[in-house]
Amino acid sequence: MKILTFDNYQLMSAKAADLVIALINEQPNCVVALPTGQTPLALYQELTAECQQGETSFQQLIVFNLDNYVALAKDHPASYERYMQENFFSLVDVPKANSYMPDGQAPDLDWVCDDYERALQEVGGLDLAILGLGLNGHLAFNEPGTPVASLTHVVDLSPSTRQANAVGFKDIEEVPRQAITMGLGTILSAKQIILLASGDSKKDIVKQALQGPITPAVPASYLQQHHNVIVILDQAVAAELS
Ligand code: GLP
């Protein structure tokens, strides 16, 4: 595991973008898992700028979102469809046919999960997974206790995750209770992983994930077992690491 620390959020995001762009230039049709949340916003801005300046084309890129809410309208202000559209897809040249998001409104969610795994296998699996980190150590929506070998599945969101994700919803009651998430096994099968974390609120969980015991209680601790993880942090988070 390689840990890179930067003075601030912008610099760490620029580094993450450099790594992603380098991979796309080397392998234009690479398969990348994409996160949502606050943490990757500046990364998406950097990637967008790169694409709009004509430096790099994303026309062959294949992207799979890590997760999605169950039973939330696609046009809801807090939906992941809108997040991805507004922060990335509408601004770059990733073809629609190359971007996958599990359909949280489908009638048969188990089928959606199996189909997501099938689609991933058909394109050869993940070359890169870009991850944020939940305050309880979740990766995508793999909550504490998730088996390490899990594939894409439906998950009941914990009260703390629903609380943390309440921004953009009218109130906590409106936050979905379930989500579809790539499993830990799906994520850990990626050839390369980039984990991003910034800000004071993440410092304790980052320390547990990177330097604590490997345990299902902290899903991100399984990253310690992966052979090719780059962790990109800002100073606020890294200050706690020994
Ligand atoms: C959500 C997402 C995760 C994300 C996490 C952290 O739960 N499903 O993929 O990593 O939030 O979000 P943030 O970056 O806003 O702290």
172: containing domain: 8-225
With tokens 């392998």, the residue in question is: 27
Q: Is residue 220 in a domain?
A: yes
Sign of the C-alpha dihedral, residues 30, 34, 39, 44?
A: positive
With tokens 């015991």, the residue in question is: 213
Q: Is the CB of residue 36 below 6 angstroms from any atom belonging to ligand 1? A: yes
Q: Is residue 123 in a domain?
A: yes
Q: Which among 9, 12, 13, 39 is the best mutation to test ligand 1's pocket, defined by most ligand atoms within 8 Å of the CB?
A: 39
Closest atom of ligand 1 to 179 CA is 8
Q: Is residue 240 in a domain?
A: no
> What is the total count of domains within the chain?
1
Taking the CA atoms of residue 137, residue 140, residue 145 and residue 149 in that order, the dihedral angle to the nearest 10 degrees is -120
With tokens 């992983």, the residue in question is: 193
Q: Is residue 89 in a domain?
A: yes
The residue whose CA has the least distance to atom 1 of ligand 1 is 37
Give me the pLDDT at residue 102, please.
98
Instruction: Look at the pTM and tell me if it is higher than 0.95.
Output: yes
The residue whose CA has the least distance to atom 5 of ligand 1 is 134
Look at residues 124, 119, 138 and name the one whose alpha carbon lies nearest to residue 65: 119
Closest atom of ligand 1 to 37 CA is 15
Q: Is residue 134 in a domain?
A: yes
Q: Is residue 108 in a domain?
A: yes
Q: What is the DSSP annotation of 31-51? A: EEEE--SSTTHHHHHHHHHHH
Give the count of beta carbons closer than 10 Å to the beta carbon of residue 90: 9
Q: Which residues of 47-62 are buried (b: 16+ CB within 10 A; e: fewer)?
A: bbebbeeeebebeebb
Which domain CATH number covers 213?
3.40.50.1360
Distance 118 CA to ligand 1 centre (A): 25
Q: Is residue 157 in a domain?
A: yes
Give me the pLDDT at residue 242, please.
83
Give me the pLDDT at residue 240, please.
85
Q: Rounded to whole angstroms, how far apart are CA atoms 93 and 86?
A: 13
- Mean pLDDT per 10-residue interval, the chain, length 242 residues: 97 98 97 98 98 94 98 98 98 97 98 98 98 97 98 97 96 98 98 98 97 98 98 95 88
Q: Is residue 236 in a domain?
A: no
Q: What angle do CA 35, 40, 44 make, to 5 degrees?
A: 100
